[in-house]
Structure 1
Amino acid sequence: MLHSTSPAPFSPFFFFSRHSVDGNIRSVTDKSDQSIVDPTKVIQLSWKPRAFLYKGFMSAAECDHVVKMAKDKLQKSMVADNESGKSVLSNIRTSSGMFLSKGQDEVINRIEERIAAWTFLPKENGEAIQVLRYEFGEKYEPHYDYFHDKYNQALGGHRIATVLMYLSDVVKGGETVFPSSEDTTVKDDSWSDCAKKGIAVKPRKGDALLFYSLHPDATPDESSLHGGCPVIEGEKWSATKWIHVLPFGKPKKEGCADENEKCGEWAAYGECDKNPSYMVGTQEWPGACRKSCKVC
């Protein structure tokens, strides 16, 4: 654990400017009214891979706010194809999820600022936050967060780091595990079998896991292989922020085309209105199904 014994010359707290907020968001931010990063709450889990756990990174109200924003916009989760870089359905990943927009509201912006302060990585290098729900038996098989395809690498280089925020407690299962890591800890029966090999983290509401997918020399770290264990009892909500080595952004689109062959089907089911962040996007961040949504 990291400690600071004196407030001078170094303070363990990083402060951001205050913001006034209105409506429902006020209840989320009244308690603090400032974004604070406290290194004394960070636990170093492993050096291979480099992994750190921040206890209480988000407040319960912030967690509930993010879940509420995502709950009615979930779709089956996809994975990036290693060759084309396109998003495809796979049994490797069985959760449901959606993407928030960067800085979507005061709370999301505050969380993104806090992530940047903790990781010392610029906000603009991060992808939009992805919110995920795992129900009974759902999981994410061990995988890497760095890319194999050239398409995704062109958006901002490799993913250098991942911040995984736990938005709910889970009765049993749902741990994040690094199966290639060395761990001599003897785990009791409160851990699922999936989590007993390698460094593992139980999902606890408000905690956040930071791990690096690249070595300090920017080469891929194979020990960063990680997975989400099946949920055995309860429900798991999480939010992921992937951070790249360079500012992250989509290439400028030429013409009017869909990025996914299912765009027409999704549009017919009303997803242009239900999930506009992904389907339509914005002028700065064009969506994946603009043609089917008839916005170009």
Structure 2
Amino acid sequence: MTTTQARQQVTPDLRKWIVEQAEAGHSAESVLQAMLASGWTEDVAVEAMEATLRGHLESKAAEQDQSQPQPVPVPEPALAESPLYIDAGDRQVCVLQTVSDPRIVVFGNLLSDEECDALIALAKPRLARSLTVATKTGGEEVNADRTSNGMFFQRGEHEVVRRLEQRIARLVNWPEENGEGLQILQYGPGAEYKPHYDYFDPVEPGTPTILKRGGQRVATLVMYLGEPTKGGGTVFPDIHLEVAPKRGNGVFFSYDRAHPSTKTLHGGSPVLAGEKWIATKWLRERRFE
């Protein structure tokens, strides 16, 4: 240590001041100049700034990690060898696009035209205004952010539903019984679902009741049954991605904790012309009852 460094001790008050300046938006250069003007030598000032800010960022990161829920296992398609196709048992499904963070996979040839038509026909007589899970109560509610019509099949309710559920389980390597019932949704012109998360917010009072049925949601698969003429894409605002609602295709995404850090904020853009039909499959941590 030099004589100058020995005289100019970096005190807790100085570290606090450096952090305050950084959080107030002052540039590193302006903070350095202020320290030099106060009599600090450049080498001591630079070292103090670097050590203080590095420690501050590490502390913030540790606090953030502690505040987040612990990660859990999630469904994962077999993508380690970058395949063009995945064997889903009764069908070769195309891998059209992948994103690693968040984990998003766009699948092609997931459903046949006949399967799309069958699901729409079975759903039509049972359509009603779509509800969302009410995490404040554990029940369901009409949500102004979601302006579609929809219905739920019971798991395994119909032959085409059973076939699709078996295909999905093999495709994403997740137990069939961990899936919620298949939901069919119809979006007419102007209908949309504003950006949202599919996991259940841990701080809401109704969440413990919801989790009793199978734990937290850990993945979503949106399958396109009917194409609109314009609009209706699935958007992921955090990463500026939009997936086109191509009939027979699907978009899968997983989230290993109930936290925005998963970057799984997503929504259904307004349908501008025509009609969009989708099937949604939510996957839980455990068997869904």
TM-score normalised by length of structure 1:
0.65
CA contact 1:214–1:221 (8 Å) conserved in 2: no
User: Post-superposition, which runs of at least 4 consecutive aligned residues in structure 1 deviate over 6 A?
Assistant: none
Distance change >3 Å, CA 172–CA 165, structure 1 → 2: same
1:170 Cα offset (Å): 1.4
Output the CA distance in 2 between the equivalents of 1:50 and 1:67: 28
The residue that corresponds to 2:252 in the other structure is 210
Output the CA distance in 2 between the equivalents of 1:56 and 1:50: 20
Distance change >3 Å, CA 12–CA 209, structure 1 → 2: closer
CA contact 1:46–1:199 (8 Å) conserved in 2: no
Higher CA-based Rg: 2
Residue 185 of structure 2 corresponds to residue 111 of structure 1: no
The residue that corresponds to 1:156 in the other structure is 214
CA contact 1:14–1:117 (8 Å) conserved in 2: yes
CA contact 2:221–2:281 (8 Å) conserved in 1: yes
The residue that corresponds to 1:3 in the other structure is 83
Task: Determine helix, strand or coil for the equivalent of 1:147.
Answer: coil
The residue that corresponds to 1:125 in the other structure is 178
Residue 278 of structure 2 corresponds to residue 231 of structure 1: no
Higher strand proportion (structure 1 or 2): 2
- Summarize the alignment of residues 1-296 of structure 1 with structure 2, pairs less than 5 Å apart: 2-3=82-83, 13-15=87-89, 35-38=90-93, 41-148=94-201, 149-181=207-239, 198-214=240-256, 221-249=261-289
Distance change >3 Å, CA 221–CA 99, structure 1 → 2: farther
1:37 Cα offset (Å): 3.9
Output the CA distance in 2 between the equivalents of 1:126 and 1:3: 25
1:222 Cα offset (Å): 3.7
CA contact 2:166–2:176 (8 Å) conserved in 1: yes
* Unpaired stretches in structure 1, ≥5 consecutive residues: 5-10, 16-34, 182-197, 250-296
1:13 Cα offset (Å): 2.8
CA contact 2:186–2:278 (8 Å) conserved in 1: yes
1:239 Cα offset (Å): 0.4
* Unpaired stretches in structure 2, ≥5 consecutive residues: 1-78, 202-206
**How many residues were matched structurally?**
204
Distance change >3 Å, CA 170–CA 247, structure 1 → 2: same
Question: Which amino acid letter does the alignment assign opposite residue 172 of structure 1?
Answer: K
Distance change >3 Å, CA 81–CA 233, structure 1 → 2: same
Output the CA distance in 2 between the equivalents of 1:37 and 1:152: 35
CA RMSD across the alignment = 1.8
Higher helix proportion (structure 1 or 2): 2
1:98 Cα offset (Å): 0.3
Distance change >3 Å, CA 13–CA 90, structure 1 → 2: closer
Output the CA distance in 1 between the equivalents of 2:255 and 2:185: 20
TM-score normalised by length of structure 2:
0.67
Distance change >3 Å, CA 62–CA 154, structure 1 → 2: same
